[in-house]
Amino acid sequence: MSRVCELSGKGPMTGNNISHANNKSRRRFLPNLNEVTLLSDVLGQSFRLRISAHALRTVDHRGGLDAFMAKAKDDELSERALKIKRDIQKAQAAA
């Protein structure tokens, strides 16, 4: 399983550990990923996604998964999330 958020595209970053003696060694900053189940109102279906805490806050702020997907950029979404976005758009167009 990769350490990348499925909705925001957030991934690991690199930096330095700096000791008291100012020694520098490389380290990784990993995103805060959580396995959550989000419900789509349009599709009436739930989806299990591995997303960052920041993305979860954004989904709540925008008013749910459907509203988040409407504004989300395609290059940030994973393949699974892109398929969900397309399904939501088809369902909204049909309604």
Query: Are the beta carbons of 76 and 63 closer than 8 angstroms?
Result: no
What is the helix (H) or strand (E) element at residue 73, kind and residue range?
none
Given a cut of 90, whether residue 31 has pLDDT beyond it is yes
Structure tokens at 75: 């290059």
Distances (CA, A) of 66 to 15, 80, 87: 35, 15, 10
Give the model confidence (pLDDT) of 35-91 as tens digits.
999 999 999 999 999 999 999 999 999 999 999 999 999 999 999 999 999 999 999
Q: Determine the pLDDT at residue 95.
A: 82
Mean pLDDT to the nearest integer, 16-39:
98
Phi-psi region of 71 (alpha: psi -120 to 50; beta: other; left: phi over 0): alpha
Q: Determine the pLDDT at residue 7.
A: 97
Query: Are the beta carbons of 53 and 32 closer than 8 angstroms?
Result: yes
